[in-house]
Amino acid sequence: MSALSAHVLEEIKELPARFPQPRSAVMPALDLAQEELGHLTPEAMSEVAEALELDPGYVEGVATFYSLFHLSPVGKHHFYICTNLSCSIKGSGDIVERFKQAAGVGEPDAVSADGLFSYQEVECLGACEFAPMLRLDQRYHYDLTPEKVGALVAERRGLLPIHGEVPAKPAEGLVAKKTRAPRKKKADA
Ligand code: FES
Could you tell me if 54 and 90 lie in one domain?
A: no
Q: By the 8 A CB rule, do 174 and 31 touch?
A: yes
Using the 3D structure, point to which of 65, 87, 112 is the last residue of a domain.
65
The predicted-structure confidence for 153-188, as pLDDT tens digits, reads as follows 999 998 777 665 555 544 444 444 433 344 444 444
DSSP line for 38-107: SS--HHHHHHHHHHHT--HHHHHHHHHHSTTS-SS---SEEEEEE-SHHHHHTTHHHHHHHHHHHHT--S
Residue 49, domain extent: 6-65
16 lies in some domain: yes
For residues 54 and 86, membership in a common domain is answered with no
Task: Please check whether residues 148 and 108 belong to one and the same domain.
Answer: yes
Residues 16 and 46 in one domain: yes
Residue 129 belongs to some domain of the structure: yes
As a whole number, mean pLDDT of residues 16-45 equals 94
User: What's the angle, vertex CA 111, arms to CA 107 and CA 113, rounded to 5?
Assistant: 115
For the chain, the domain total comes to: 2
Query: Does residue 102 share a domain with residue 60?
Result: no
For residue 163, the model assigns a pLDDT of 65
Kindly state whether residues 33 and 96 are assigned to the same domain.
no
Q: Ligand 1 centroid vs 154 CA: distance in angstroms? A: 24
Query: Candidates 82, 122, 180, 185: which one to mutate for ligand 1, based on the most atoms within 8 Å of Cβ?
Result: 82
Domain co-membership, 159 together with 128 = yes
In a domain, 174, yes or no: no
| 125 C-beta closer than 6 A to ligand 1 | yes
Average pLDDT, the chain: 87
For the CA of 82, the closest atom of ligand 1 is: 2
